[in-house]
A and B are shown apart, each in its own frame.
Chain A
Amino acid sequence: MRISVTINGKKRIFDTAPGERVLHLLRRYGILSVKNGCDGEGTCGVCAILLDGKVVNSCQLLAPQIDGHEIKTSECLSQKNKLHPIQEAFLDTGIVQCGYCTPAMLVAAYELLQRKSEPTEEDIKDAFSGIICRCTGYKQIFDAIEVASKRIKGDENYKKEYPAFRSDLRLVGKSTRKVDGQQLVCSNPSFVEDMINPNTLYVKVLRSPHAHAIIKSIDVSDAEKIEGVEFILTHENCPHTLYGSSGQCYPEPSPYDRRIINKKMRFVGDRVAAVAATSEEIAMEALNKIKVEYEILPAILSLEQAINEPSVQIHDETTSEYCFHIGQDLAKNIAASNKGGIGDIEKGFKEADVIIERTYRTGHIQCTPLEPHVVYTYMEGDRLVIRASTQVPFHLRRIVSRATGYPEIKIHVIKERVGGGFGAKQDVVMEELSSYITLQTGKPVYHRFTREEEFIASRTRHPTIINVKVGANKQGQITAVDMKVQADTGAYGPHCLTVPMNACSKTLPLLRCKNMSYDVTVYYTNNIIAGAYQGYGAPSGAFALQTALAETATALKINYLTFIRLNHVRTGDRLDILKCLGEGQEGIPQQVTSCALSDCLDRGDFSIRWGEKEDGTAPYLKIGKGFAIIQQGSGLPGIDAANASIYMLGDGTFFLCIGGADLGTGLDTVAVKVVAEILMVDQDKVAVKAGDTDVTPFDVGSYASSGTYFTGAAAYNAALNMKKKILEESAKILNVSVDKLTLDYPGKVVSDDGELTYTKLAQLTQSGKGTGQIIATGTFTTEESPIPYGAHFAKVEVNELTGTVKVKAFHAYQDCGTPINPDLALGQMYGAVIKSIGHTLYEQMIFDEKGKCLNPNFLDYKVPTINDIPEDFRSELVFVDEKLGPFGGKSISEIATNGAAPAIATAIYDATGVWVREYPFTAEKVLEAIREKKT
């Protein structure tokens, strides 16, 4: 059928079918601003458009519903490359992170400001109520609207003031626009989904309905007969090589325990077969025609079962190979284990007046990036090109090479803009599959997870059972701490040792305690696959340890804040415990080079009014306060590595190449700023290319909080080398000695007698008579890694009639050394905090007794929206002078996921007198705990 629609002011005729979704129609006609985050369920809002001036979900509209109507998309905003004030405001307030939700937010902002030129906070919440953003924590939306509103009304230079640091620097420590911001607010082709060419094959995967089974037979003959089906992959025709999916440095401390498709199914959702066809519909039809016979095996579906029932074996030596020993014992389903400690733990407990021993539990939670996993692969001659949404382009190349047997030199990985990663995209969860199909068929292949697949076939946080034993004396000194972590890696073991180890390595070093021990055991089960998730194992460990400390303070009858003040680490302390807590190898003890914990605690003490009891507004509403101290790392010393190169271009500007992978966090911006700062030019005189394995030098990628510290430092070192070369070349040209020259803003070399602009320098060096283009490289490896610290404070209201916990206030204080870009740094904090409040209160995957996930969608698995942010929500950057890192920059984002659970748990206790020891603290659990206390 034909419909006629006015789109962004222009009347257009579309050929469509009555059942076609408007979302698909628009994308088919090149309108890229509409995104798909929930497959038409209506819950995510990233497909938003204006229909006759009202914001609606285009995924829930059928083509005939818009016939004769007027539609606007965010493409209507910028005119001929000139940004709309709303787009400008978005860029000036740090609200664009990954940018996947940005077009929808722009549409909502536009509609709101048309309706109300000076909206209230409530108006803003309402306008954005239908959009899920997993990155930003929503907080800076209020700033963006304020700025846009003022500018539209004529105050064109209105700015929101963000804190600024390091008055000795021009760019670093000040908020400037994100370098990829403009392409994202304009919806230029940015994401993998924007790159698909005609004649592409679409991949769909048949998934195991059984948690543990062997494929007895598989018959694809009927499926193959369907017209349009081009290739079907099963365990019968796929390579036998074992590999691991975790994007970690080689040799990985994770097993190689899977083939592209296995004969044995190990969880509900495991790959049975993959079909490549000329359309998604045909691929799906073909899946239905594949006949599979399974031999069903008994399954292990919980950690308790794994610990107590070693009779079922999930892997053996033929299916799980290790690069080196990480404490595995496959006969007992132990994928990895490690234990160690410092001091004399027995003695420590003997010295204690109070000993608290508690068990805490955490479950499966999902990263839920709004852009699900997606990949596009195709051949360029004999080279395989992988356009990926990944955190680890270089590891991805290596892993795909191993899995497919295709040499690394013939693989080109291009990281596109990533629509949210959060750890899930640190794993190779689909790229090796589509690569193999492209290699077999020679054809372009597109594979994109549905939202359901994103839940069941991506990576989750490891469920854990953590026993904590704390000893302390009457004076409030901690004398001993023992942590026993048992974790569920699921069917396969990516990150199986390292995530659970982080439960200890990012928590125990917070304490000045001489006697500490830990014991980590990780089990294979027939659950979905666990992996990396922002914070790694630290949020679970922080919840357990910090809550146990609060319980200890309560038992000692000491104010919890006083107790923590007595025991936390300080600048200059040596962290010997890190020697044993390595990543499968011996770790490196660290000196605390900077630590603002005391400062963070003071600020929270004051702002949350610690110790002041407050009453609820009804007799059944109880108010309580809590807090937690937190830390993370800044990359992995002795393991991670980053490199950068800088080219001086013909006009004296710079082209920076970094291997790092910006996943919306602002890493590209950090690197550019660092370079521009050193080379004395404006930020827009440095262009950046990142995460392209053909063009940019090696970098481990974005994980383990390494972005700013490692990639930033490589850029820093490259810039220093570039500076050196500029000075040397200029000295030759000006015929003076190097020590007489300095760099000066905006982009020149000066001496007492004259100057040479970079433009001139570039012309001279790059001409036929010159010495050649100036190219500098920088590399960064280290034995030292500065630790970021923080304290998060929460005030909650517990409804004793319903068990509902409402976070009324959340104040996050963090030190990240020098915040390179404060508004983006704050956005990282807000986003992580909101996500972790979700994890703490309601996010949980639910499974039936056969291991099938029952809530793989946003209707049933709830994530926070703008109406869920605390009324009083603050993030503050606490400056500390850090000598390591690029201009003293430490990491900022992962750490911010560690505070919510323990802060809220202690606040719930303060409010109600009950301890909740398993998150999420759902209303059901809280109500049950309150009931138990009453009886």
Chain B
Amino acid sequence: MIQEYYIPTTVADALRIKADQPHYSFIAGGTEINARGYPKTAQHISGLISIARLGLTGIKKEEKNLIIYPAVTLQELIDSPLLNEEPFNMLKTAASNVKNRHIRNMATIGGNIAACKSCSDMIPILMAMDATLEVYSSEDVKHEESVLEHIRKKEKYLITKITIPFRKDFHIAICRYTRTSNDLALINVCLGIELEGGICKDARLALGGVAATPLRIMEIEKFLIGEEFNGKLHQYAQKLREHLEKQIHPIDDIRGKAWFKKELAGGLVIQALYEVAQKGGIIL
């Protein structure tokens, strides 16, 4: 039960409180942390440290990078004029896949990464875009790490900055399956491909819903690189699907049977491939 609620005004203060009270949690929008343990927030959490006044808001464009601060809400991403062009516009698509406007107004991108849900809508796109995070594990220890590295770590520290490099000719598609529009995705697929003259120069494939955390499937990325798509997309799509289905091992749960999740992932990756190809001007 929450006994204490801190609203520090500097990152250093926040980290000091956290160091003193390791079992306290950070709170950003609260959509995740407050959704548990009703009517009192999570029974096991006795204190919260708000990141609201740490100045971790705003989006800015640098020469080669886009910088997003973690307290930016999903709705702010959608409303930002800085994210209108490819590939950054896909961050808007990812954020608007969280269909519930109430949630988007509260939920932050940092909270989304830290919550690290299997079906997170932001982690796959950030992985596909090679985003890196600035993370403080204590007042004076700062790390720079990829999203993948971050979500693999057990200890969760304070995320203070998200950096996304700009990539030319990089096309991204996001395909997901939900039962209703307001559902968490059962499976989501984010495919990014750099194309040059119909040839795949580089690829990223991130998948949510098939394991405890979102995955990057590097096997498939390797498989894609160097391929020539023009005129061959149909046969290629089928191969890709078969290959992918071998790489993932979803489990049966109340949201779906393993076979179904596998098949979905395969179906969605085909859709994503078509979409990316269309964006990149591939001839079918």
A45 close to chain B: CB less than 8 A: yes
Asked whether, in the complex, the Cβ of B274 is within 8 Å of the Cβ of A62, the reply is no
Q: Which of A406-414, A479-487, A853-861 contacts B (4 or more CB under 8 A)?
A: A853-861
Asked whether, in the complex, the Cβ of B75 is within 8 Å of the Cβ of A54, the reply is yes
Task: Indicate which residue in A41, A868, A922 contacts B38 across the interface (CB closer than 8 Å).
Answer: A41
Asked whether, in the complex, the Cβ of B34 is within 8 Å of the Cβ of A62, the reply is yes
Task: Indicate which residue in B31, B34, B177, B180 contacts A864 across the interface (CB closer than 8 Å).
Answer: B180
Write out, one digit per residue, whether chain A residues 102-120 have a CB within 8 A of any chain B CB (1) or not (0). Answer: 0000001000000000000
On chain A, the number of residues with a Cβ less than 8 Å from chain B's Cβ atoms is 59
B154 close to chain A: CB less than 8 A: no
Task: Indicate which residue in B41, B179, B256 contacts A62 across the interface (CB closer than 8 Å).
Answer: B41
Asked whether, in the complex, the Cβ of A129 is within 8 Å of the Cβ of B100, the reply is yes
A61 close to chain B: CB less than 8 A: yes
Asked whether, in the complex, the Cβ of A924 is within 8 Å of the Cβ of B260, the reply is yes
- Taking CB atoms, residues of chain A closer than 8 Å to B99 are 129, 865, 867
Contacts A18-B4, A862-B183; A280 near B39 (Cβ below 8 A) = yes
Task: Indicate which residue in A801, A860, A927 contacts B271 across the interface (CB closer than 8 Å).
Answer: A801
The winner among B31, B34, B182, B184 for most chain A CB atoms within 10 A is B182
Minimum C-beta distance from B120 to chain A (A)? 15
On chain B, the number of residues with a Cβ less than 8 Å from chain A's Cβ atoms is 46
Q: How far is the CA of A868 from the CA of B74 in the complex (A)?
A: 21
Asked whether, in the complex, the Cβ of A42 is within 8 Å of the Cβ of B31, the reply is yes
Write out, one digit per residue, whether chain A residues 860-874 have a CB within 8 A of any chain B CB (1) or not (0). Answer: 101111011000000
Q: How far is the CA of A618 from the CA of B270 in the complex (A)?
A: 12
Asked whether, in the complex, the Cβ of A862 is within 8 Å of the Cβ of B182, the reply is yes
A24 close to chain B: CB less than 8 A: yes
- Taking CB atoms, residues of chain A closer than 8 Å to B274 are 618
A737 close to chain B: CB less than 8 A: no
Task: Indicate which residue in A24, A45, A67, A860 contacts B102 across the interface (CB closer than 8 Å).
Answer: A45
Asked whether, in the complex, the Cβ of B179 is within 8 Å of the Cβ of A862, the reply is yes
Contacts A60-B106, A867-B181, A867-B182; A40 near B100 (Cβ below 8 A) = no
Q: How far is the CA of A61 from the CA of B103 in the complex (A)?
A: 11
Minimum C-beta distance from A268 to chain B (A)? 15
Interface residues of B in 1-39 (CB under 8 A from A): 1-5, 7, 27, 30-31, 34-35, 38-39
Write out, one digit per residue, whether chain A residues 434-447 have a CB within 8 A of any chain B CB (1) or not (0). Answer: 00000000000000
Minimum C-beta distance from B97 to chain A (A)? 11
Asked whether, in the complex, the Cβ of B255 is within 8 Å of the Cβ of A18, the reply is no
Asked whether, in the complex, the Cβ of A40 is within 8 Å of the Cβ of B39, the reply is yes
Write out, one digit per residue, whether chain A residues 819-861 have a CB within 8 A of any chain B CB (1) or not (0). Answer: 0000000000000000000100110001000000011000110
Q: How far is the CA of A56 from the CA of B266 in the complex (A)?
A: 36
Contacts A18-B5, A618-B274, A924-B260; A55 near B179 (Cβ below 8 A) = no
A353 close to chain B: CB less than 8 A: no
Asked whether, in the complex, the Cβ of B39 is within 8 Å of the Cβ of A39, the reply is yes
Interface residues of B in 230-254 (CB under 8 A from A): 254
Minimum C-beta distance from A862 to chain B (A)? 4
A559 close to chain B: CB less than 8 A: no
Asked whether, in the complex, the Cβ of A57 is within 8 Å of the Cβ of B268, the reply is no
Asked whether, in the complex, the Cβ of B182 is within 8 Å of the Cβ of A24, the reply is no
B101 close to chain A: CB less than 8 A: yes
Task: Indicate which residue in A21, A39, A108, A927 contacts B260 across the interface (CB closer than 8 Å).
Answer: A927
Task: Indicate which residue in B39, B182, B254 contacts A855 across the interface (CB closer than 8 Å).
Answer: B254
Interface residues of B in 73-112 (CB under 8 A from A): 75, 99-103, 105-106
Contacts A60-B106, A846-B254, A927-B260; A129 near B30 (Cβ below 8 A) = no
Write out, one digit per residue, whether chain A residues 789-813 have a CB within 8 A of any chain B CB (1) or not (0). Answer: 0000000000101111000000000
- Taking CB atoms, residues of chain B closer than 8 Å to A51 are 105
B159 close to chain A: CB less than 8 A: no
Task: Indicate which residue in A1, A17, A43, A620 contacts B182 across the interface (CB closer than 8 Å).
Answer: A43
Task: Indicate which residue in A45, A60, A127, A862 contacts B30 across the interface (CB closer than 8 Å).
Answer: A60
B52 close to chain A: CB less than 8 A: yes
A713 close to chain B: CB less than 8 A: no
Asked whether, in the complex, the Cβ of A18 is within 8 Å of the Cβ of B3, the reply is yes
Minimum C-beta distance from B115 to chain A (A)? 13
Closest to A55 in B: B102
Interface residues of A in 90-146 (CB under 8 A from B): 108, 126-127, 129-131
Asked whether, in the complex, the Cβ of A40 is within 8 Å of the Cβ of B34, the reply is yes
- Taking CB atoms, residues of chain B closer than 8 Å to A923 are 177, 179, 260, 264
Minimum C-beta distance from A450 to chain B (A)? 8
- Taking CB atoms, residues of chain A closer than 8 Å to B30 are 60-62, 65
B257 close to chain A: CB less than 8 A: yes
Asked whether, in the complex, the Cβ of B101 is within 8 Å of the Cβ of A65, the reply is no
A64 close to chain B: CB less than 8 A: yes
Closest to A61 in B: B30
B143 close to chain A: CB less than 8 A: no
Minimum C-beta distance from A19 to chain B (A)? 3
Q: How far is the CA of A838 from the CA of B38 in the complex (A)?
A: 27
Contacts A43-B182, A922-B179; A126 near B34 (Cβ below 8 A) = no
Q: How far is the CA of A763 from the CA of B183 in the complex (A)?
A: 62
Asked whether, in the complex, the Cβ of A62 is within 8 Å of the Cβ of B48, the reply is yes
Task: Indicate which residue in A40, A56, A130, A842 contacts B180 across the interface (CB closer than 8 Å).
Answer: A842
B198 close to chain A: CB less than 8 A: no
Q: How far is the CA of A316 from the CA of B50 in the complex (A)?
A: 59
- Taking CB atoms, residues of chain A closer than 8 Å to B1 are 19
Q: How far is the CA of A41 from the CA of B41 in the complex (A)?
A: 11
B263 close to chain A: CB less than 8 A: yes
Q: How far is the CA of A928 from the CA of B103 in the complex (A)?
A: 34
Closest to A64 in B: B5
Minimum C-beta distance from B161 to chain A (A)? 23
Minimum C-beta distance from A619 to chain B (A)? 9
- Taking CB atoms, residues of chain B closer than 8 Å to A45 are 100, 102
Minimum C-beta distance from B26 to chain A (A)? 13
Task: Indicate which residue in B103, B180, B266 contacts A862 across the interface (CB closer than 8 Å).
Answer: B180
- Taking CB atoms, residues of chain B closer than 8 Å to A334 are none
Q: How far is the CA of A65 from the CA of B27 in the complex (A)?
A: 10
- Taking CB atoms, residues of chain B closer than 8 Å to A922 are 179
Minimum C-beta distance from A43 to chain B (A)? 7
Asked whether, in the complex, the Cβ of A57 is within 8 Å of the Cβ of B254, the reply is no
A48 close to chain B: CB less than 8 A: yes
Asked whether, in the complex, the Cβ of A18 is within 8 Å of the Cβ of B38, the reply is no
Closest to A57 in B: B102
B152 close to chain A: CB less than 8 A: no
B40 close to chain A: CB less than 8 A: yes
B267 close to chain A: CB less than 8 A: yes
Asked whether, in the complex, the Cβ of A18 is within 8 Å of the Cβ of B48, the reply is yes
Task: Indicate which residue in A18, A42, A56, A799 contacts B35 across the interface (CB closer than 8 Å).
Answer: A42
Asked whether, in the complex, the Cβ of A39 is within 8 Å of the Cβ of B38, the reply is yes
- Taking CB atoms, residues of chain B closer than 8 Å to A40 are 34-35, 38-39
Asked whether, in the complex, the Cβ of B177 is within 8 Å of the Cβ of A865, the reply is no
Given contacts A42-B35, A922-B179, 14 further A-B contacts (CB under 8 A): A19-B41, A24-B39, A41-B38, A42-B100, A54-B75, A56-B106, A57-B31, A64-B7, A65-B30, A130-B182, A620-B270, A862-B183, A865-B180, A867-B181
**The 5 A-B residue pairs with the shortest CB-CB distance in the complex, in nearest-first order:** A801-B267, A19-B2, A130-B102, A867-B181, A40-B38
Query: What are 5 residue pairs bridging A and B, where the CB atoms are less than 8 Å apart in the complex?
Result: A17-B2, A801-B267, A801-B270, A862-B183, A867-B180
